[in-house]
Each structure stands twice: as C-alpha cells, then as structure tokens.
Amino acid sequence: MFKKALFLIMMLGCGKHPFTKQTSNAGLRGLAGENFSSTNSPCLDGMLTAIDHSCAVPMHIEEGYPYLLIQCLTIRVGANPWDKYNIFVLTNAQIEDPPNATMLCVDPYARVYMQKRP
C-alpha cells in the first residue's frame, strides 16, 4: 500500500504544470539576456548592457580604431538619460583621453568615457 501511495505522489509531482511566460529584462539587442557574449572587458560589457537596457531604439555603435563610440538616440520612459551623452571606449593605452570627457571606468582592455552631447 505504501509503495502505491509513494508511486502516485511521485507521478503527480512529475505532472505538467502550466508555464508562465516571463518577460525579459534584456534590452533591444539582448545584450544582458541569453545571448550575452563577453568582450573580455568588464567596463565595456557593463556599459553596453546598461545602455541597451535603457534605449527604446537600438543603440548606435560606431567602431574605428582605436575607439568605439556608443550612442542611444531615444530612451525608454523613466530610464537613465543615456541619450544625452556620447560614450567613448578607448582600446589602446597609448591614446590620450578625449577632451571634455569624464572617465567612467577602466580595466586592462578598455577605458570608458562619457561626454555630454552638444
């Protein structure tokens, strides 16, 4: 009798439960979601994730050695004001700091700066 009750309880526990769809906290490009791919720079990864989460439209990324320019043109309602700043990422340690820019973070792979847009 005990074996039958245990078997029945185990079968009920394995029964299919209704699936609740969860909304993703990732941004438009999904940089913070399942498809996250590291750049090996904690500073750059963090900036891309934060800006992607706040942007209402895909962020603009312009690459040109030795820098990376990141811009968010339109933000989501109530999000951080990334649309007011240009983000510069320098990947070469020999390049001087951009003028009128504030350093946000630095690691062995990149230096990240923020500059107010004109």
CB atoms within 10 A of CB 45: 19
Pair of tokens at residue 80: 């951080």
Report if residue 4 sits inside a domain: no
Pair of tokens at residue 39: 């750049």
41 or 34, higher pLDDT: 41
Number of compact structural domains in the chain:
1
Mean pLDDT on 13-26 = 51
Reported as a single tens digit per residue, the pLDDT across 92-105 is 889 998 888 999 99
- Please check the confidence at residue 32 and state whether its pLDDT lies above 80: no
**3-state DSSP call for residue 58?**
coil
Q: Kindly report the average pLDDT of the chain as a whole number.
A: 80
58 located within any domain: yes
Amino acid at 77: V
In a domain, 33, yes or no: yes
Can you give the residue range of the structural domain that contains 36?
26-116
Domain assignment present for 110: yes
Residue 6 in any domain: the answer is no
Residue 113 has what pLDDT?
A: 95
Q: With 0.75 as the threshold, say if the pTM is over it.
A: no
